[in-house]
Structure 1
Amino acid sequence: MTLAPLRRAGLVVTAALAALLALATPAAAHGADAPDGTDYRAEVTAIGPARPGLTARMVEAGARLELTNRTGRDVEVMGYSGEPYLRIGPGGVYENTRSPATYLNRTIAGDTQLPPEADPAAPPEWRRVADGPSAQWHDQRTLWLESTPPPRVSADPTRQQRIRDWVVPLRAGDQTIEVRGTLDWLPPPDAYPWWVAATLGFLVIGAAGLVPGGTAPGVRALRAVGALLALGGAATVTFTVGRVLDAGAEGVGGVLLGLLGAQVWTLLTGLGAVAAGGYALARRGAADFTLALAGACLTLFAGLGNLAVLSRSVVPVAGPAVLARVTVVLVLASGAGAVAAGVLRLHTAARLARATPPPRRPRLAEERPTLGGGQRRAAVRGSKP
């Protein structure tokens, strides 16, 4: 590879990353209220009095409260002034456009400006917003909305502490029901060991790019980087599925819809890394460039986009938080390592191409000089003894 193709490869990488960033921005904004991690754990502890078919849980790392009503009768969620806010039942989910909670609960910060028609004392005006028996919303009663922790947490942030018990009132006909829960502070983990692990993995994988590409060790190094990149891509897919499950998706159909929603670009990044790793394992001609491009996308969108997992105690992924941190470390190490290895191999190939002189082309018969008549006679006389 000469220097010009190397420059073109760099331009292609830059253009591809810019395009992916532009396309990924709307998807990220769509799920902007789903936190990447938090140190506040909100949990539902009970529904009382219990009713068969009525369940509640926290989703998206505690950012939203989900209520599912399969009782066959409508259940109303009460707003912050005791007004009807949501109605969930056999006919779907309806919101009261006169309730201030309808607008305040659209963001996790609760800072939406109220329209003039918002009046908790006015008769409800119901608007259908969803099918099915479930609704999810940001409920300020379950969240800590301040930018700083409570004073007692600031005094001792290394200890788990109960911030408050909370209640969200419901109404079913003339019966009052309560969703009860807790909000706790969990000390954040030390992110330093995870960063050390990611850095060491990056250095080890990137060092494979120093092995000469045309040798048997170079082929093995290429395959090893490809296998690790494919592993990082598979970890990204697993992590993405875990986020969708934590957001409340149920069943295969629900998971697929979640993957094709706000998480679609992270999913495609993981699948692309798996494909690029397989391409390198097959020793294709452009494997070095493919490794660099796929590794850059994996690092940006699946690694750096989930850094909060390393330093937050509650993560938006189904399963143990430690497993989520191991996954992010693997993604960072394999992605950044593949970038380093691919770029080093491309640079080495370009340097060798510049240092190797082109082979000398044999002169053709028609390119040899032609002697004139006098030159031929002189040459003949000179050849006689």
Structure 2
Amino acid sequence: MVVTTPGVHAFRLVAVTAALTVLFALINPMPASAHIVGTGGSATNIQTRLTAIRPAVPTVAVTLGLGGQWVRVTNQGAAEVVILGYRGDPFLRLFRNQVQVNQLSATATETGLTPGSPAPGNPAAGRSAAGGLTAGGPTAGGPTAGGPTAGGKTAEPRWVRSSDGDSATWADARIGPQPASQQASGPWQLPLLVDGQQVTAVGTWDLIPPPSPWPWVAVLVLLTAAVAAIGWMRDWNRPMAAVVTVGILAFVAHVLGTGFAPQQSGPLIGWVGVGLVVAFALLVGVVSTVSTLRRSESAPDRAVTVGAIILLLAATDLSVLWNSQLPFPGPGALDRGLTVIFYAAALGLIVAGIRLVRVVKSSRIQPGRTTG
């Protein structure tokens, strides 16, 4: 019979968790620097605001991600909404419950949007379903703006289906400071055509200095050392169970908070992702806590597993310590405090668990020794 040690079980569970985390990241679209556990965006020092839609129209809505990391335009009843690109070119279109991309738009290439198959029912070039002129058709003053042609003139837009739905979401360089900008604040604009009417979403961006991270780092180091010391205690079961419980609850509160931030993939998908992560974390925490209180031989391995799982799921969330704008609805200090608690619990549990695994292993070997 093959005997599998508790350490091997822990390693396998961590490996499975890592694979699930990567899979979740692949199926859940978000910026590379964003949270693994949600699509609210990563912490930043840029604060963006939408101040107005001019003229005000009830048939279109604009939503900004944290720090302008993404922008979403939603059609709320217009026959056609066209988003203009960086050079005034027709870039995206919301039409007949589809998100369509102009293949001739340079902005589509620069923003990384990949067009799909040709959109069915594409109206005559330059005309909307309402019979008016779109950005790709002739304007009051002259040529079209779909894209360049061999003759130097502009071409009609070539709309292709990107996805179904009434909302388009993408990362737009106009929402926020330019890379070489030295300014601490500024305006932004996003031009649209709503049923042929020129509409502009306007707002502002500001660089908000972050608080000093060093007090939080000091607390993190001290708490990590205190948790790690459990591995050298004779009666370690209850303290370790308490740390697992507190660490998991702090992590769950942090993750639930990210769900209230604007979600890049939409509220429904965002909350589904948050719910899955919360349920998984609670399940792992309960199993580890019960195992520890029962003084199970596998308890130290499970403590290591809990620590590794928290670190894998939290990903880069430690960046809340040195950024001012957080994807969290409450005070920034609360989210930073929660983050310090679950990171300290995770790191300390890994150290304490490894130490106790060795103790358990050595106590298992001890009775087998012979005396002279």
**TM-score, normalising length: structure 1:** 0.72
Q: 2-side partners of 1:314 and 1:21: how far apart? A: 28
The one-letter code of the counterpart of 1:144 is P
Match of 2:164 in 1: 131
Matched, 1:165 2:187: yes
The one-letter code of the counterpart of 2:61 is T
Deviations 1:77-117 (A, max 9, x none): 1111212212225523222222122221238xxxxxxxxxx
Q: 2-side partners of 1:241 and 1:187: how far apart? A: 26
Q: How does 1:57-136 map to 2 (within 5 A)?
A: 57-89=63-95, 91-106=97-112, 119=147, 121-136=154-169
The match for 2:182 among 151, 155, 180 is 151
Match of 2:125 in 1: none
Q: 2-side partners of 1:101 and 1:266: how far apart? A: 38
Match of 2:229 in 1: 207
Kindly state the Cα deviation for residue 52 of structure 1 after the two structures are TM-superposed: 2.0
- Shift of the 283–251 alpha-carbon distance from structure 1 to 2, 3 Å rule, reads farther
Instruction: State which drifts further: 183-192 or 277-286.
Output: 277-286
- Shift of the 285–348 alpha-carbon distance from structure 1 to 2, 3 Å rule, reads closer
Matched, 1:293 2:292: no
Contact 2:18 2:312 in 1 (8 A): no
Deviations 1:6-63 (A, max 9, x none): x954455445545544553454465344543222222211111112242212114420
Match of 1:114 in 2: none
Higher relative contact order by CA 8 Å / sep ≥ 6: 1 or 2?
2
Q: 2-side partners of 1:51 and 1:84: how far apart? A: 20
Kindly state the Cα deviation for residue 331 of structure 1 after the two structures are TM-superposed: 1.2
Deviations 1:176-230 (A, max 9, x none): 1110011211112211111111112112222222221xxxxx1xx4233223223
Q: How does 1:272-291 map to 2 (within 5 A)?
A: 272-291=284-303
Match of 1:37 in 2: 43
Q: How does 1:298-313 map to 2 (within 5 A)?
A: 298-302=310-314, 305-313=316-324
Matched, 1:338 2:353: no
The one-letter code of the counterpart of 1:195 is V
Contact 1:77 1:87 in 2 (8 A): yes
- Output the aligned Cα RMSD: 3.3
The one-letter code of the counterpart of 1:223 is R
Q: 1-side partners of 2:271 and 2:193: how far apart? A: 33
Contact 1:41 1:185 in 2 (8 A): yes
SS of structure 2 residue aligned to 1:31: coil
Contact 2:169 2:264 in 1 (8 A): no
- Shift of the 59–151 alpha-carbon distance from structure 1 to 2, 3 Å rule, reads closer
The one-letter code of the counterpart of 2:360 is A
The match for 2:337 among 309, 326, 335 is 326
Kindly state the Cα deviation for residue 247 of structure 1 after the two structures are TM-superposed: 4.3
The match for 1:235 among 250, 271, 279 is 250
Q: 1-side partners of 2:279 and 2:360: how far apart? A: 32
SS of structure 2 residue aligned to 1:151: coil
Contact 1:234 1:274 in 2 (8 A): no
Contact 2:78 2:194 in 1 (8 A): no
Kindly state the Cα deviation for residue 234 of structure 1 after the two structures are TM-superposed: 3.0
Q: How does 1:233-272 map to 2 (within 5 A)?
A: 233-248=248-263, 253-259=268-274, 268-269=280-281, 271-272=283-284
- Shift of the 352–257 alpha-carbon distance from structure 1 to 2, 3 Å rule, reads closer
- Shift of the 45–268 alpha-carbon distance from structure 1 to 2, 3 Å rule, reads same
Percent identity of paired positions between Structure 1 and Structure 2:
26
Match of 1:142 in 2: 175
Select the structure that is richer in helix. Answer: 1
Q: How does 1:363-382 map to 2 (within 5 A)?
A: none
Kindly state the Cα deviation for residue 342 of structure 1 after the two structures are TM-superposed: 2.0
Match of 1:193 in 2: 215
Kindly state the Cα deviation for residue 64 of structure 1 after the two structures are TM-superposed: 0.4
Structure 1: gaps of 5 or more residues: 108-117, 153-160, 213-217, 361-385
- Shift of the 133–82 alpha-carbon distance from structure 1 to 2, 3 Å rule, reads same
**Matched residue count:** 323
- Shift of the 250–18 alpha-carbon distance from structure 1 to 2, 3 Å rule, reads closer
Contact 1:77 1:84 in 2 (8 A): yes
Contact 1:233 1:271 in 2 (8 A): no
